[in-house]
Amino acid sequence: MTEILAEAAHAPGQPSDQLAKLARMADQIAEFFQTYPEAEAVDAIADHINQFWTRRMREDFRTGFQDDASALSPLVRQARTKVRVAAAG
């Protein structure tokens, strides 16, 4: 029964709990910068993520929404492409 519930919680098209948290955090950052001109907002969102998120968070964010970024707001979708790749080591 637990396996069935776990599978239902991760239905196709639905981000995992961790990805949902990252999306929510990124959207909160985007809310702060939404009054900026679009290009500035996108750069500021990516810059904030690059400065304050851990390497693991950035990597999960970049790869977790690579195939389907529909859970992200439009500004965050654009900023995701500017989030730096996590350096090895």
Q: Where are the domains of the chain?
A: 17-80
Residue 21: the pLDDT is: 96
Per-residue pLDDT at 13: 54
Report the pLDDT value the prediction gives residue 15, as an integer from 0 to 100: 61
The pLDDT value given to residue 73: 96
Q: What is the pLDDT of residue 69?
A: 94
pTM of the predicted protein model? 0.80
CA distances from 75 to 44, 69, 79 (A): 10, 11, 6
| pLDDT at position 8 | 38
List Cα–Cα distances, 59 to 6, 51, 52, 64, 66, in angstroms: 24, 13, 13, 8, 11
Q: Which residues of the chain have pLDDT under 70?
A: 1-15, 86, 88-89
Distant-in-sequence, close-in-space partners of 19: CB < 8 Å, separation ≥ 6 = 60, 61, 64, 65, 71
**Which residue shows structure tokens 């996108």?**
42
